[in-house]
Amino acid sequence: MPHNHTPSSRERIISAARAEVEGKGILGLRVQDVAQQAKVSVPLIYKYYVDRDGLLAEVLGEMFEEFVLEQLDASEAYINALEQPTIDDVMAILALPQQDFRRPRRWTRMQILAASMEIPALRERLGLVQAVIQERMTAFLDDIQRRMAGGRTPVDSSALAMLVQSYSFGFVLNDLLVETGQGIKDEDFASLMRAFLQGAILGNPVTSVE
């Protein structure tokens, strides 16, 4: 018979803290509420995580990493299943500015980064998380370039990885423009990225999308 996993006290604490953050925001997290929801004592939480900041560093670092790696896992699976990836395939995995399903996580990641300016433990944790993300994304983009460009890597993959991550954060600015009816359309941004990728990787720039 399959063994049913019983969550440990640490797992219950993290799950409860995440629920509190998702329901009340980062500033709304109270250790007492987490303890009550996780059915543990407050001293036990402090034993594991020292203080509220330590708990936030753990749960927010986990959320930040999960949001990125889930998408990266899906992108790798998609590209790896292809015999010969094309620019169209790469375009299919890139984020676009008006994809509604990406907005909540985008804003949550921005809040986590902002919180890290006041919480040294969180900033340290995010540094370690970002190192893992950057390494994995660099390797992924390196593989894509080699497969598309005959074994070459025309663009530095680490710089390309940073560009891909940075522009998706910039979409929060577009979210604000959307509220005033001035947001950049997905097709316009896709046209820009297509031109960039074809020019950088294949040496064949285009100026529009058919």
Interacting residues of 130 by C-beta distance below 8 A, sequence separation 6+: none
- According to CATH, the topology of domain 1-49 is Arc Repressor Mutant, subunit A (1.10.10)
pLDDT of residue 170: 84
Per-residue 3-state assignment (H helix, E strand, C coil) for 87-99: HHHHHHHCCCCCC
- Residue 209 above 80 pLDDT? no
pTM, two decimals, is 0.84
Among 9, 12, 131, 15, which Cα is nearest to 63's?
15
Token code pair at residue 25: 């925001």
For 122-180, write each residue's pLDDT tens digit.
Answer: 999 999 999 999 999 999 999 999 999 999 999 999 999 999 988 888 899 999 999 89
